[in-house]
Structure 1
Amino acid sequence: MNTRRRYLVSITFASDQLTYVTTDEAVGIDIGIKSMATLSDGVMLTGPRLRERYLSKIRLLELTRLSTRRRQAASKCYGRLPKARTVAKLHAKAANARSDYLNTAAASLVENYGRIFIGDVSCHLMNRSKNLAGISLDHGIGKFKQQVSYKAQRAGGQAQEIKERDSTRTCAIFLEVYPRTSLGVGEWKCGKCGAVHDRDVNAARNILRLGREALTHLHYREAAQA
């Protein structure tokens, strides 16, 4: 039984009718703040964005319960609190909406790309950050990575994490490194080629380049050992 007092049934079955990857198309993915994920072809996945839909209501109900409890304790006159079940239902709705979005997004990526390279941004560090924790947990970044990896492996594709150090400030065309800037700077201009880069799209293109290089080195090593 879940938090909404509903019983769930899990059925396991074997099937040979699995969807397998039929393309060698590769993509780089930069995990971000403004958008949950930015692809190297410029497509942006905004994320489930549940903060506006559910989390504000949950926060308001929890604050109402807390303030009511304090007033009752001060006056020693105890009565009914706002229903905890209502809060639990909202939590369950938010979790279900997030899970549905992430599963759909991951399935779409695996269907369209045979090789997926994702930046190795640390979800734990983001969750510990005062400014980024809410966004990271709202997007469900850790769950998104797990779903992409699982679905790619199941479909016979490839999903690999790539070290993304300096990927946002390295020109994806000439590999010129731009000086460090704050997270609020969304675009910058390369001093060598003059191209204006969106930091997230540029990072995704660098991740794609690094992923292809890593794959090439792996093939060389395997050929040398053969």
Structure 2
Amino acid sequence: MTYTAIKIKLYPTEKQKELIDINFSCCRKVWNTLLAELTERNENGRLVLKDEYDFKKGGKLPSRFDLIKKLPPMKKEFPYLKKADSTALESEATNLRRAFDNWKNPNTKSGFPRFKRWQVNDDTYTSSAVYPRGVGNIRILSRNYIMIPKLKAVNFRCDVPINSHIVNLTVNLTNTNEYFASVIVDKDITGFNKTQQSIGIDLGVADMAILSNGKKYETVDYGNQYSERLRIWERKLARRQAEMKKEIAFNKKNDIEGGRLWFSEFPNYQKARIQVAKYKKKAMLQRQYRLQWISTEIVKQYDVIVIEDLSTKNMLKNHHLAKSISKQGWRIFRDMLQYKCDQYGKQLVVVNPYKTSQICPNCDYDDGKHLLNIREWTCPSCGVAHDRDVAGAQMILKKGLEELNK
């Protein structure tokens, strides 16, 4: 059995939207309250663990069960927490403990947990599925309705039938004011047939992915078709944001009756913000769809996939290529390959890209560093002509197979 996420779009009523906002608010309160109990500010103002919880000073962090036990007294102190889904509050306590575990793990590169601030959009909460008397609190009622704790029957749309055991559900409000839910199900997944084939992948800019067999997946800039409209709305957003901030500052300075103004009270600003987010989202979804298609095709055809470990952060320092590199989605592509290989019984090998573009894959001769404008070169040792990117992919494959054979 394998955990799989199925994304569905929700169409809640106004009453259900209010209940979703309550869950967002209560989960944020639980996170911030528990984090405040475990941490303090040091002399530099940085957030650190209290001595009794700091493992570096002999302390011990409470387990997730210990954090969950703090919820009943918290509900007595803050009665409005009872309005939220209890499993969502427990999930928030679990997530906080997981955040500390990730921070302690040097391989995750996660930062210290931070307090969550109130925001108008882009918020989430997770409800866990329980099955008293065999009936789940999260279940599919019909083709277009799903039962969610506290919300009851919510209208939804999904292209994939959900007929497996539901583990949990995460509700998300996006920056385009749309509601989605990620349903985690436990299901059997049939692996792809073994092909006994291996492939190396070189990542590039002109071509997003180049395979060691010579096949290339060209880069498609989906943002171009929306660039003009996006530019217009970004200008409107900048003007309206400046006007909004002036009004908020004026209101605060002169202590005008009515109290503090919120971003949600400026409909023109919100309209521009949503339009900008929608155009960016369209390009992102098209890019992700293509990456899904490419990664699935590769995983189906090859048992061993070798890819280079690129440091995108360092590459973005090149201001001439930064924009093009940021649109490629190399890390997303690698993550897709990783989880699909894990699901379907294939193997992904990640290698250091050092010198892969300057060594001849035929005779291992090092021709030295090649400038970016050199796309083809001929090995002076064996005389074989190379396409720069294809030769790089072949060297990546060679490195990966050597690592596997160690």
TM-score, L = length of structure 1: 0.83
- Contact preservation (8 Å) 2:201, 2:209: yes
- Contact preservation (8 Å) 2:201, 2:211: yes
C-alpha deviation, 1:133, in angstroms: 2.1
- For the residue of structure 2 that corresponds to 1:98, the secondary structure is helix
The correspondence for 2:327, drawn from 125, 132, 138, is 138
Distance change in 2, residues 1:164/1:97 (3 Å): same
Q: How does 1:58-207 map to 2 (within 5 A)?
A: 58-63=230-235, 65-66=237-238, 83-207=272-396
Give the percent of matched residue pairs that are identical in Structure 1 and Structure 2: 27
- Contact preservation (8 Å) 1:41, 1:201: yes
Cα distance in structure 2, aligned partners of 1:181 and 1:17:
45
C-alpha deviation, 1:131, in angstroms: 2.3
C-alpha deviation, 1:9, in angstroms: 2.9
Cα distance in structure 2, aligned partners of 1:210 and 1:56:
44
Matched residue type, 1:113: Y
C-alpha deviation, 1:151, in angstroms: 0.7
- Contact preservation (8 Å) 1:115, 1:159: yes
Specify every segment of 5 or more residues in structure 1 that has no aligned partner in the other structure, as ranges. Answer: 74-79, 218-226
- For the residue of structure 2 that corresponds to 1:28, the secondary structure is strand
Deviations 1:176-202 (CA, angstroms, capped at 9, x unpaired): 111322111111111112222111000
C-alpha deviation, 1:54, in angstroms: 3.3
Distance change in 2, residues 1:197/1:57 (3 Å): farther
Matched residue type, 2:280: H
Matched, 1:32 2:221: no
C-alpha deviation, 1:67, in angstroms: 6.2
Counterpart in the other structure of 2:226: 54
Cα distance in structure 2, aligned partners of 1:196 and 1:159:
29
Cα distance in structure 2, aligned partners of 1:149 and 1:206:
20
- Contact preservation (8 Å) 1:21, 1:110: no
Cα distance in structure 1, aligned partners of 2:349 and 2:392:
16
Counterpart in the other structure of 2:177: 5
Cα distance in structure 2, aligned partners of 1:7 and 1:64:
25
- Contact preservation (8 Å) 1:48, 1:138: no
More strand by share: 2
Q: Which has the larger radius of gyration?
A: 2
Cα distance in structure 2, aligned partners of 1:168 and 1:67:
46
Deviations 1:77-134 (CA, angstroms, capped at 9, x unpaired): xxx6783322111011122112211111111111111100001121221233312321
- Contact preservation (8 Å) 2:206, 2:219: no
- For the residue of structure 2 that corresponds to 1:30, the secondary structure is strand
C-alpha deviation, 1:64, in angstroms: 5.0
What CA RMSD, in Å, does the superposition of the two structures yield over aligned residues?
2.4
Distance change in 2, residues 1:125/1:193 (3 Å): same
- For the residue of structure 1 that corresponds to 2:190, the secondary structure is coil
Cα distance in structure 1, aligned partners of 2:229 and 2:277:
12
Tell me whether 116-125 or 56-65 shows the greater mean CA deviation. 56-65
- Contact preservation (8 Å) 1:187, 1:196: yes
More helix by share: 1
Cα distance in structure 2, aligned partners of 1:154 and 1:69:
45
Matched, 1:45 2:234: no
Count of residues in correspondence between the two structures: 211
Specify every segment of 5 or more residues in structure 2 that has no aligned partner in the other structure, as ranges. Answer: 1-172, 247-267
Cα distance in structure 1, aligned partners of 2:197 and 2:296:
15
Cα distance in structure 1, aligned partners of 2:296 and 2:227:
26
Cα distance in structure 1, aligned partners of 2:340 and 2:278:
29
Matched residue type, 1:164: P
Instruction: List structure 1 segments (4+ residues) > 3 angstroms apart after TM superposition.
Output: 54-57, 63-71
Cα distance in structure 2, aligned partners of 1:70 and 1:186:
46
